[in-house]
Amino acid sequence: MQYLFDENGRRYLDAFGGIATVCCGHCHPHVVDAIVNQTKRLQHSTILYLNHAIADLAEALANKLPGNLKVVFFTNSGTEANELAIMMARLYTGCHDIISLRNAYHGNAAGTMGATAQSNWKFNVIQSGVHHAINPDPYRGVFGSEGEKYAKDIQDLIQFGTSGNIAGFISEAIQGVGGIIELAPGYLPAAYNIIKKAGGLCIADEVQGGFGRTGSHFWGFENHGVVPDIVTMAKGIGNGIPLGAVITTPEIAEVLTRRNYFNTFGGNPVCTAAGLAVLNVIEKEKLQDNAFVVGSYLKERLIALKDKHDLIGDVRGRGLMLGVELVTDHELKTPAKLETLHLLDQMKEIGVLVGKGGFYGNVFRITPPLCFTTEDADFLVDAMDYTMSKM
Ligand code: PLP
């Protein structure tokens, strides 16, 4: 179900999906049943005592990944998943330097807040060993859509800011919090090449873009033809249940077997049972295909809306991970911050919930449940059109 209801019973079309999280829809009966049944059987055991709820999801997730990405660690959130991935890269390589992208969001604990590169998400952070590369942002970036040109900055960071060897590189395929920014084509393959040459590991943050959201592929990184060394995930994995995971190769995972790494709730069986149900629902209900079909339709309608309203500077994204950037001046790309806030309020009045993001807070983030329909897409676009016409 793609609706939320307030305390007066008023219905809202949820085009934000609990921040790209509720991928199967709210209170999906199959996911709810899995949670209830598992709660009755075994509520908690820790991963010290392996059981089917944990092992079955680990196996199903590993089967979704390419290459030798076969070892799964469960966490409770995306932040924890990225913290673990960064720690693994440091342990495995024996190096400390990490490269992430400007404008990225990777979490809010010590290491991940360092990797996050937006001032409004960083407080009192010790910026230990993290270097931020120029963002390959086709709309605002200096090189437009020429991905390989941006990648040169990674080479410079390594050359001038590190000893020459690094621990790794972390990036989303489409920046979510950053304002639904699709990395310029060609960037990730070029970046991965440079990182590998410097001895680093490539970490794909699939916290928002995974689980079929981009429509064309199950994982966001697959849209760029790269294979990461470590993949992190959360949000969509549990349809709203606190669950995250890090998946890597046996060779890299081995670095943790020599240490006392532990996470009490990571792999909680109720959460992993929800995770397995989510994978089943995505497959049975062909939600990835739906994200592709409805997402393509919605994007087309949004592009048409851009021709009608000057306020829309850019429409971008894939599948059901779409962004609409609002500007008051097309040439200067002046962020329409207040207008964005006003429009969000107005759309809520009509009964449509959309997220907001981007460094300037001027991007509509459209990341609904993957069961969104073309009728929902029409309602959303009509609501935008109507509210913009009244500006
Ligand atoms: N990585 C990305 C790309 C995210 O969008 C987020 C959260 O929005 C995180 C990591 C952190 O996940 P969590 O909020 O579950 O800690």
107 in contact with ligand 1, CB cutoff 6 A: yes
For the stretch 154-192, pLDDT in tens is 999 999 999 999 999 999 999 999 999 999 999 999 999
Cβ of residue 172 lying under 6 Å from some atom of ligand 1:
yes
Q: Is 79 in the pocket of ligand 1 (CB under 6 A)?
A: yes
Please identify, among 285, 317, 338, the residue that sits at the C-terminal boundary of a domain.
285
Check residue 150 and give its pLDDT.
98
The reply to whether 342 and 380 lie within a common domain is yes
Q: Are residues 62 and 98 in the same domain?
A: yes
Whole-number Å distance, alpha carbon 78 to ligand 1 midpoint, is 5
Residues 95 and 114 reside in one and the same domain: yes
Claim to verify: residue 319 and residue 227 sit in the same structural domain? no
Q: 38-85 pLDDT, tens per residue?
A: 999 999 988 888 889 999 999 999 999 999 999 999 999 999 999 999
State the Cα–Cα distance between residues 108 and 78, nearest whole angstrom: 9
pLDDT at 49: 86
Count structural domains, the chain: 2
Which residue's CA is the nearest one to ligand 1's atom 10? Answer: 106
CATH code, domain carrying 235: 3.40.640.10
pLDDT of residue 257: 84
The ipTM estimated for the assembled molecules is: 0.99
Task: Classify residue 275: in a domain, yes or no.
Answer: yes
| Closest residue by Cα to residue 203 from 71, 114, 89, 109 | 89
Q: Residue 296 pLDDT > 80, yes or no?
A: yes
According to DSSP, the residues that pair with 4 across neighbouring strands are 12
Last residue of a domain, one of 256, 285, 314: 285
Query: Percent of the chain scored above 90 by pLDDT?
Result: 91
- Cα–Cα distance, 117 to 58 (Å, whole number): 31
Distance 198 CA to ligand 1 centre (A): 27
Domain range enclosing 294 = 286-389
Please check whether residues 335 and 270 belong to one and the same domain: no
Best mutation site among 22, 105, 271 for ligand 1, i.e. most ligand atoms within 8 A of its Cβ? Answer: 105
Maximum Cα–Cα distance across the chain = 63
Residue 15 lies in a domain: no
User: Is position 297 within any domain?
Assistant: yes
- Residue 314's closest CA among 333, 340, 338, 298? 333
pTM here is 0.97
| 233, 367: one domain | no
Does residue 334 register a pLDDT over 80? yes
Residues 179 and 74 grouped into a single domain = yes
pLDDT in tens, 228-281: 999 999 999 999 999 999 999 999 999 988 888 889 999 999 999 999 999 999
Look at residue 22 and tell me if it is in a domain: no
The ligand 1 atom nearest the CA atom of 235:
15
pLDDT tens digit string along 279-295? Answer: 999 999 999 999 999 99
Give a yes or no: residue 23 inside a domain. no
- Please check whether residues 61 and 36 belong to one and the same domain: yes
Whether the per-residue pLDDT at 115 is higher than 90: the answer is: no
Q: To test the ligand 1 pocket, which listed residue (108, 208, 237, 363) has its Cβ within 8 A of the most ligand atoms? A: 208
* Per-residue model confidence (pLDDT) at position 131: 95
Domain limit, last residue, from 227, 250, 285: 285
In 3D space, the residue among 270, 281, 242, 301 whose CA is nearest the CA of residue 370 turns out to be: 281
CATH number at residue 326: 3.90.1150.10
Q: Is the pLDDT of residue 336 over 80?
A: yes
Per-residue pLDDT averaged across 90-97, rounded?
96
In a domain, 311, yes or no: yes
Cβ of 106 less than 6 Å from ligand 1: yes
Specify the pLDDT at position 117: 86
- Tell me what percent of the residues of the chain surpass a pLDDT of 70: 100
pLDDT of res. 391:
84
CA of 232 from ligand 1 middle (Å) equals 10
pLDDT, average across residues 337-360: 97
251 vs 227: CA distance, rounded Å: 15
- Shared-domain flag, residues 48 and 190: yes
What is the average per-residue pLDDT within 362-366? 98
Sequence-ordered alpha helix ranges (H) in the chain: 17-20, 29-41, 52-63, 78-93, 110-115, 147-161, 187-197, 250-257, 269-284, 287-308, 337-350, 374-389
Q: Which of 157, 169, 225 is nearest to 199 (CA)?
A: 169
Q: What is the mean pLDDT of the chain?
A: 96
Residue range 123-145, pLDDT digits in tens: 777 777 999 999 999 999 999 99
Residue 195 shares a structural domain with residue 292: no
CA of 374 to the centre of ligand 1 (A): 28
In a domain, 240, yes or no: yes
